Amino acid sequence: MGSTERGLYFVFMNYDPEFERLQADRTKRAAFEVDIYLSRKHDELLANTLGIGTYKKALSLKIVDGFAVQITEHQANVLRSVNGVRVVEKNQVFN
């Protein structure tokens, strides 16, 4: 099944026309709306897929439609199969 050890993973989403529309608007209001839209979208995806309390979202990435989350390898594999998810990659730490 995989390790229960959590790691930091980056999750990037497929093309989203609403995100693109909001990104194209360079007003301060639109920048605020992008933040809210992405945070809500990412939170809902995680809660609906992994269950509340089984992960820790670190941040939503505003420049690209993505986020960082602390999850197990098994949870990363679950996210990889979700419709709308493009890439799930574990953060690589170099010593």
Report pLDDT digits (tens) over 46-69. Answer: 999 998 899 999 999 988 999 999
Instruction: Determine what percent of the chain is predicted with pLDDT higher than 90.
Output: 82
Torsion on CA atoms 37, 23, 89, 60, rounded to nearest 10: -40
Q: What is the pLDDT of residue 77?
A: 98
If you average pLDDT over residues 81-95, what whole number do you get? 89
What residues does each domain of the chain span?
A: 6-90
The overall pTM is greater than 0.85: yes
Residues in contact with 33: Cβ distance below 8 Å, sequence separation at least 6, in sequence order: 22
Tell me the CATH class for 6-90: alpha beta
Q: What is the mean pLDDT of the chain?
A: 92
What amino acid occupies position 33?
E
Band of pLDDT at residue 4, cut at 50, 70 and 90: confident
What burial class does residue 75 get, using C-beta atoms within 10 Å of its C-beta: 0-12 exposed, 13-18 middle, 19+ buried?
buried
